Structure formats: structure tokens, C-alpha cells
Amino acid sequence: MNVGIVVEGPGDAAAYPVLMRRIRNDIGELQVRQCGGKYRLQRVFLSFLNEFHLNHAWQINVAFVIRDSDCKPPQEIEEQLREVLYASGFRHFPVEFFATKCQLETWLLADENAVNEVSRKRGKNNRADAVPGQLESYKDAKKRFHQMLTIAGLPVTPAVYREIAQCVDIARIEERCPWFPQFILRVRGC
């Protein structure tokens, strides 16, 4: 299965493909486009979907448009994006919309062991502690995640996001982030 992904920014572009491949092992070609923020995503995602369609070499079977909800009701954001798609008349392949409950960093915060593993692999001796509480209620998840990276001696870069996504315990994210199983269902269901 070949997949197109449209996301907000560079951290998303680094982590989501890794998470999706870990959830579903039959993903072949994967094209990722970042928009430079959630508001720009809403304006330009259609142009990326058309790019996926027009490049026949990629043979995209399904596309995902993924956006942070910033702790607003995710379903409302997904519906807004769906309405833009329907109004456009785009019908070339299925498009799945997903609004992460709060932010991608909410999921990466769920497993401090993954952060510490990446830190260790990079030759650091620093260790981050678990972030307590209901992670999907943190409106400042990105800030907290960046603090965790700093404590672990890691830079805030797409490469670090990718490495953490490769190490993260999917079951731990499911346990700590009740909205994450919806992402799993949608990735597996397409």
C-alpha cells in the first residue's frame, strides 16, 4: 500500500511516517508533505493531494491529512477538513483526516524510556523522568516535550523526533493517551 501524508511541520513529517509503518507493516511508497503550520495546512492540503494524484510513479492508494487539535474536539477539526475536500470534488483516492488530541508531542511524551534510549544511543548520560498525569489534557505538550529533550541532552530536531518514534512503545502510548487507539484503527482500516 502506498501512502501520502500531509502534516503541519518538520517534527510531524519525521515522526508520523515511522509511527504509521510501525502500526502497519505493508506500507510501501510513502510521500510526506509538510505545510508550515495548522492554518496553512487547511489552505494547501488539496494541492498536495493533487500532487500525489498527478505523479503516477507513486501510485498513492490512500492519503492521511494529520493536524494537531490543540486540545479542541478533534472530530470538529476533522469535519472542517473533510468539508474542504468534499467541496473541492477531489475523488481520486481515499483521504483520511486525523486530528491528534492536542499535539503529536503528547504521544512522544508518553514514553520517557524512548527518549532516554535515544539519548543513550547518542552518547548522553542524562535521563528524563516520566511526565505525570493525563497527557492529552496538556495544552503545552510541545513545550513539555522540548523540556524533556533538553533534560535528556537531545536537540529539538526532526531527526530526534524520528529516532524517538522508532523507539517508542506503542502499547505505552495507547495506555497513556486514550485518543491514540483511534489513530491505530484508522491506519489499519485504510
For residue range 48-102, what is the model confidence (pLDDT) as tens digits?
999 999 998 899 999 999 999 988 899 999 999 999 999 999 999 999 999 998 8
Q: How confident is the model at residue 14 (pLDDT cuts 50, 70, 90)?
A: very high
Same domain for 91 and 184, yes or no, is: yes
**Are residues 98 and 147 both part of a single domain?**
no
77 and 114 inside one domain: no
Query: What is the DSSP track for 46-76?
Result: HHHHHHHHH-TTT---EEEEEEE-TTS-HHH
Looking at the fold, whether 11 and 96 belong to one and the same domain comes out as yes
Domain match, 83 and 136 both: no
Residues 147-170, mean pLDDT to the nearest whole number: 97
Same domain, 68 and 93: yes
Decide if pLDDT at 12 tops 90. yes
Instruction: Identify whether residues 7 and 98 lie together within a single domain.
Output: yes
Taking the chain, what is the end-to-end CA distance rounded to the nearest angstrom? 9
Beta bridge partners of 33: 6
Question: What is the average pLDDT across 165-179?
Answer: 96
Of 100, 107, 39, give the one whose Cα is nearest residue 64. Answer: 100
Task: Give the domain range for residue 78.
Answer: 3-103+178-189
- Residue type, position 13, single letter: A
* pLDDT mean across residues, the chain: 95
126-129 contacts, C-beta under 8 A, 24 or more apart: 126/151, 126/152, 126/153, 127/151, 127/152, 128/152
Please report the pLDDT score of residue 182 as a whole number: 95
CB 98 within 8 A of CB 63: no
Residues of the chain with pLDDT > 70: what percent? 100
Do 165 and 74 fall into the same domain? no
97 lies in the same domain as 24: yes
- pLDDT tens for 134-148 read 898 888 899 999 999
Does 96 lie in the same domain as 57?
A: yes
Task: Verify that 92 and 185 share a domain, yes or no.
Answer: yes
**Per the structure block, which three cell numbers stand in for 137?**
489534557
Total domain count, the chain: 2
| CB-count exposure of residue 42 (10 Å: 0-12, 13-18, 19+) | middle
Q: Which residue has the cell 501524508?
A: 5
Q: Are residues 57 and 82 in the same domain?
A: yes
Percent of the chain surpassing pLDDT 90 = 88
